[in-house]
Structure 1
Amino acid sequence: MALELEAAVLPVPDGVRAELRREWGRLAAPGTWLSGEERVAVAREARAARTFADAHTELEPVLVEAAQSVSAAANLITREWVADLLTRGMTIEQYVEVVGIVSRVAAVDAYVRGVGSAEEALPDSEPGEPTRRRNIDVRPRAAFVPTDPEDGARYALSAVPAEESARDQLHAQLYLSTPQMADLTHQNELSRAQMELLAARVSFLNDCFY
Structure 2
Amino acid sequence: MYPHTSLPIRPAIAASHHAALERFVSSGTWFWGHERHAMLKEARHASLCRLCAESRMALSPFITKGDHDSVTDLPEQVIEVIHRLVTDSGRLTEAWFQSVVDGGLSAEAYIEIVGLVASVIVLDSYARGLGEDLLSIDAPRREDSPPLRKTNPDVVDKGAWVPILAAEETPGATLLPSVPNILRAMGLVPSAIQQFFDIMRAHYGLANLESALSRPQIELVAARMSSYNDCFY
1:18, distance to aligned residue in structure 2 (A): 1.3
Q: Is residue 9–residue 116 contact of structure 1 (8 Å, CA) maintained in 2?
A: no
Q: Give the alignment's TM-score, normalised by structure 1.
A: 0.86
Q: Is 1:58 matched with 2:81?
A: no
Aligned-pair distance for 1:20? 0.6
**One-letter amino acid of the counterpart of residue 92, structure 2:** I
* CA shift digits 1:123-146 (9 cap, x unpaired): 313513112232101122132221
Cα RMSD over matched residues? 2.0
Find the aligned partners of 1:61 and 1:45 in 2 and give their Cα distance.
12
Alignment coverage as a number of residue pairs: 200
Alignment gaps of 5+ in structure 2: 51-68, 168-179
Does the 8 Å CA contact 1:10/1:116 hold for their aligned counterparts? no
Greater gyration radius:
2
| Residues 69-104 of structure 1: CA deviation (Å, up to 9, x unaligned) | 111111111111111111110001100000000000
- Runs of 4+ in structure 1 displaced over 4 angstroms? none
Summarize the alignment of residues 31-180 of structure 1 with structure 2, pairs less than 5 Å apart: 31-52=28-49, 54-125=69-140, 126-127=142-143, 128-149=145-166, 152-176=181-205
Deviation at 1:107, TM superposition (A): 0.1
% identical aligned pairs: 31
Amino acid at match of 1:106: I
Question: Quick check: 2:24–2:36 contact (8 Å CA) kept in 1?
Answer: yes
Amino acid at match of 1:193: P
The answer to whether the aligner puts 1:15 opposite 2:12 as a matched pair is: yes
SS state at 2:115 partner: helix
Question: Against the structure 1 CA distance between its residues 153 and 110, is the aligned structure 2 distance closer, same or farther, given a 3 Å change threshold?
Answer: same
Q: How far, CA to CA, are the matches of 2:138 and 2:194 in structure 1?
A: 20
Contact between 1:11 and 1:115, CA under 8 Å: does it hold in 2? no
Instruction: Flag the 1:68–1:87 CA change in 2: closer, same or farther, 3 A.
Output: same
Alpha-carbon distance between aligned partners in 1 of 2:210 and 2:148, rounded to the nearest angstrom: 37
Contact 1:46–1:68 (8 Å) recurs in 2: yes
C-alpha contact 2:164 2:185 (8 A) present in aligned 1: yes
Unpaired runs of at least 5, structure 1: 181-185
Amino acid corresponding to residue 144 of structure 1 in structure 2: W
* Cα separation, 2, equivalents of 1:61 and 1:122: 24
